[in-house]
Amino acid sequence: MRVSALLAEAVAVALAAADITDGDVDPTCGHSLARLGYDRDFAAARQNTSALSQPAVPAVGWRAVELDPERREIRIPREVMLDLGATAKALAADRAATRIATALNCGVLVNLGGDISVAGGPPDQGWLVGIVDNRGFDDAQAAASPTGPRPPQHDSVVTIRDGGLATSSPKVRAWSRGTARLHHIIEPSTGMPANSCWRTVSVAAATCVDANTASTAAIIRSGRAPGWLASQQLPARLVGHGGEVVAVAGWPAGPSGKGSRP
């Protein structure tokens, strides 16, 4: 099918993310998520707590998607359902920040649910970004509500001046089906949520897309993630389920220290 320029770009970005992560961040996980019940608005999906009645569906694999960017044509097998959630929100943040900075000729920070992109000249002190490590969906909803409790204390605060920053976590988009505890970050080879040793991974990179790709892959790679992030020279903060913190590639040390990312 011939598609719009925007969809062609979004699919190209998703395929590039799959390529550079050796398929860990795979856009063909759509049926995997649907089989687990995440095929509607999340607030509605989590209301169904009945046991799963069908086995998991592994991803078909990103190489099954053929994209001709010049002709804007995509060929997808009938059994494939694309899910661009791992990269599309970050792409939207990058596009929005660039467009606003150009239109208004000023510094801009765009935050779409933890996917942050900055463009234009930053404030003199840079952009201060707070990170919360242990927040679930209900906590996030309450913090966003005008009648809810005061915003949570940040577990880490960093300064960024350009590029992007993204945080991935299996805690915010988590739900139960029967006795199974599920979340939205899928291991493509199994079609099931990744069994990760990290509850939160935050990564700084040249773009929000790059940061989001790396943070998502780090959740899936679990114990192998720190070495991989360090080899890519991506500043990152990884937090284990017990609260232990691992900082790599120049991420400021300390639970709440401030510092500029390299």
Do 118 and 67 lie in one domain? The reply is no
68 in a domain, yes or no?
yes
Residue 80 included in any domain: no
Q: What is the pLDDT of residues 51-67, one digit of tens each?
A: 988 999 999 999 999 99
List residues bridging with 245 in a β-sheet.
239
* HSE, side-chain direction, 13 A CA sphere, residue 127: 21
pLDDT tens digits for range 93-132: 999 999 999 999 999 999 998 899 999 999 999 999 988 8
Is 81 a domain residue?
A: no
pLDDT (mean) for 135-153: 53
Q: Is the pLDDT score of 262 beyond 60?
A: no
pLDDT at 145 over 50: no
Residues 57 and 108 both lie in one domain: no
Q: Which two tokens stand for residue 75?
A: 């060929």
Q: Are residues 207 and 182 in the same domain?
A: yes
Phi-psi region of 17 (alpha: psi -120 to 50; beta: other; left: phi over 0): alpha
Same domain? 121 vs 200: yes
Q: What is the pLDDT of residue 137?
A: 53
pLDDT at 257: 42
Tell whether 63 is covered by a domain.
Answer: yes
Does 53 share its domain with 135?
Answer: no
- Residue 138 confidence (pLDDT) above 80: no
User: What is the number of domains present in the chain?
Assistant: 2
Question: How much of the chain, in percent, has pLDDT values that exceed 70?
Answer: 89
**Domain end marker among 75, 100, 121:** 75
**Residue 20 pLDDT > 90:** yes
Place 172 in a pLDDT band, splitting at 50, 70 and 90.
confident
- Determine, yes or no, domain membership for 256: no
* 240 and 116 inside one domain: yes
The answer to the question of residue 131 being in a domain is yes
pLDDT for position 151: 53
* 190 and 116 together in one domain: yes
CA 8 remoteness from chain centre: 20
Regarding predicted confidence, which is higher, 133 or 135? 133
Same domain, 97 and 203: yes
pLDDT beyond 90 at 30? yes
- Say which residue, 148 or 169, is predicted with more confidence: 169
What are the E-state strand segments in the chain? 66-68, 73-75, 108-112, 115-119, 127-131, 156-160, 163-168, 174-177, 180-183, 186-187, 192-193, 198-205, 236-240, 245-248
* Whether residue 65 is found in the same domain as residue 121: no
Q: How much is the pLDDT for 258?
A: 42
Residues 94 and 199 in one domain: yes
Q: Final residue of a domain: which of 75, 105, 126? A: 75
CATH classification at residue 106: 3.10.520.10
Average confidence (pLDDT) over 18-30:
97
Residue 160 lies in a domain: yes
pLDDT of 152: 53
Together in a domain, 151 and 225: yes
Range of the domain at 30: 5-75
Q: Which of 42, 75, 108 is the last residue of a domain?
A: 75
| 65-94 pLDDT per residue, tens | 999 999 999 999 999 999 998 899 999 999
pLDDT tens per residue across span 236-259:
999 999 999 999 999 987 554 444
Residue 148 pLDDT exceeds 60: no
The answer to whether residues 54 and 183 belong to one domain is no
Please report whether residue 84 resides in a domain.
no
